[in-house]
Amino acid sequence: MRLRSLFAALCCAVILADPAHAEDPACANPRQMDGFRTCADVAKAEQEGAFVLYSTDPEIAQEKLLAAFHATFPKIKTSYLRLQAGALYAKLLAERQGQVYSVDAVQISDLGFAADFQKRGGYMHYVSPEMAAYKPEYKSKPEGYWNWGAVTIAGIAYNPTLVSAAEAPKTYTDLLDPKWAENISVKVTISGLQHVTWYVIRKLYGPEYWEKFALLKPHAFDSYVQQFDRLVSGQDKIAMTAQYSGYLIMKAKGAPVEFVIPPEGLIATPQPYGAVKEAPHPEAARLFMDWFLGVPGQTAATAALYYHSPRADVPPPPGGEPITNFKLLFPEDWDAFEATHAAYAKEWNKLTGLR
């Protein structure tokens, strides 16, 4: 059973939105902290003493990000749970169906899941004063439920010890060359980034593109870490849906990886963040959102996660180019994109060897 059907079956898990807070304005007099403003009760957040994040990002990066928050607020102990987007969302809904409230904020790499969670009334409504620095299209409607916290971009990567620069694919159509058969990797079906890639490439080249790509028998993985590890070890020669962040991290370590920016553009998808309704540490959740969406949190995030910030006043990740230097490919209509999930899941499961 595909995930959306499972979620629909969890009818009793639907959480009604709280009308009393549906139109909460931002607080009139936010408190100025070191580099950001907050409407949270900082003293109460410190009394709560803990903050729990659910995320789809790699563990090492999450540890660095939360360590930066803890360094700013040492009285607040941080912890996290990392799962792939589909598995994480299924766990979140199952917990709420059982009235288990153990998470304060959630980051999920699939805007469709974020929109669905908002419809279910799962997010706390909180208009952070730092949201003023973000474009309207980077916020939930109405604002105050989730917000773009980062932008993930992806292209093509290869191992230069196995593939010469002249031989390396330059465009997405170059990836269809039979010489890459069984030597190319992608992400698994439950990856939000992979869904965006499937959707965008299908728009560019039609459904026959993926029919031809299936003949390559690609290897599919949960994490970009696995994709780049296989490139470095020589188990694969090419990575499609190769995250720019992963490339920067591996390049900084001196690993043999190169990144290709196709003339068509780079795939881009947002990383929505939001505080959760019935959070066990609600003031800590608000405080984290303010810190994270502010310059200090966004700067810490780019350093830890190597993603680009949606804020114009935050520099690019270490060793990376500004996001304005890239042509970005992403769905123009997110509702239309979300409506393709059933078709995508069916095709991608078949393409990657699942049934």
- pLDDT, tens digit, 9 for 90 and up, residues 306-338: 999 999 899 999 999 999 999 999 898 888 898
Q: Which CATH class for the 3-150+271-320 domain?
A: alpha beta
Dump strand ranges (E) for the chain: 31-32, 37-38, 50-55, 77-82, 105-107, 147-158, 184-187, 219-221, 238-243, 258-260, 266-275, 328-329
- Domain edges within the chain: 3-150+271-320, 152-268+326-351
For residue 32, the cross-strand partners are 37
Question: Tens digit of pLDDT for each residue in 212-231?
Answer: 999 999 999 988 889 999 99
Helix 295-305 / helix 282-293 crossing angle, nearest 10 deg: 80
CATH homologous superfamily of domain 152-268+326-351?
Answer: Periplasmic binding protein-like II (3.40.190.10)
Long-range contacts of 70-75 (CB under 8 A, 24+ apart): 72/34, 72/291, 72/296, 73/42, 73/45, 73/46, 73/287, 73/291, 75/46, 75/49
Over 60: is that where the pLDDT of 55 sits? yes
Q: Are strands 219-221 and 328-329 parallel, antiparallel or unpaired?
A: unpaired
Q: What is the pLDDT of residue 107?
A: 96
If pLDDT is split at 50, 70 and 90, which confidence band does 12 have? very low
Which tens digit of pLDDT belongs to each residue from 125-135? 999 999 999 99
Residue-level pLDDT at 353: 83
The pLDDT value recorded for residue 10 is 33
- Omega of the bond leading into 142 within 30 degrees of 0 (cis): yes
